[in-house]
Amino acid sequence: MEIELPGELVKALRLARNVVVLTGAGTSAESGVPTFREAQTGLWSQYDPQQLATPRAFQRDPRLVWEWYAWRRSLVSEAEPNAGHLALARLAGLFPNLDLITQNVDGLHQRAGSPCVMELHGNIMRTKCFDCGVIIDDYRDPKQPLPRCTVCHGLLRPDVVWFGESLPYEVLSNAFAVTRACDIFFSIGTSSVVQPAASLPFEALKRGALTVEINPVRTPLSPYITYVLSGTSGAVLPDLVQATWPT
């Protein structure tokens, strides 16, 4: 389904100097990576995050947590970037001052060619020590015995942000800094309910930025947004980039 792109938005995008894009799980949905909160298909409708995505869950049953993350890693490694990821990578080539902030841990933006992605919630393919925090890149599948840190022998865990944990401080403060300075802020494929990411568009609005939401459904953010584009990121983003810079 084609959606009507507002001419004013296309004009504003051509003239914009600083653009910030915030993405969520919906951006990867068309690559076959499940979202979290959608009623039938979202991960949190089938799995209890308290059993799988908290430090306490890991202390209680590291094997169960590892099995779940190994399954999600396999989904991510089989997935390919979709048309939405590719359009954002193209946008980065057109705007030297485009900042891409993602809540996704799947690395698909980077694989599509987007440089300098700010990962607010970590990266599922990276591993770190539960005890000393050292990052161990050469991950082995968690077979018996569970993977251990080469520095302190603590248990290794996926390098993602779990419930009850803080976001990486530098990434987060940088995300707020670029948001405060942008002319246009995009919120794409996110339910806009998880903090602190959900505050970013409000920070942009406070500073007078034009805001755009791309999502097939309305979210709690929609009433505040300048342009709500109702559709999937894989359909809307390529159209928007093409309308703005026809090839």
CB 206, min distance to ligand OAD, A:
21
CB 143, min distance to ligand OAD, A:
25
CB 148, min distance to ligand OAD, A:
24
- By Cβ distance, which residue is nearest to ligand OAD? 26
- For ligand OAD, the closer of residues 29 and 210 by Cβ is 29
153 in active site: no
Helix, strand, coil % in the chain, rounded to nearest 5: 40, 20, 45
Look up residue 81 and give its two tokens: 């970037």
Residue 15 Cα distances to 30, 184, 245, angstroms: 30, 10, 12
Distance from C-alpha of 184 to C-alpha of 240, rounded to nearest angstrom? 14
What separation, in Å, do the N-terminal and C-terminal C-alpha atoms of the chain show?
A: 21
CB 47, min distance to ligand OAD, A:
11
- For ligand OAD, the closer of residues 90 and 121 by Cβ is 121
What's the CA angle centered on 158, arms 153 and 159, to 5 degrees? 100
Look up residue 23 and give its two tokens: 């993405």
Please tell me the number of Cα atoms within 13 Å of 122 on its side-chain side. 18
- For ligand OAD, the closer of residues 18 and 104 by Cβ is 104
Residues that bind ligand OAD (CB under 6 A): 24-26, 29-30, 35-38, 42, 53, 103, 121, 161, 189-191, 194, 214-217, 219, 232-234
- Please list the active-site residues: 121
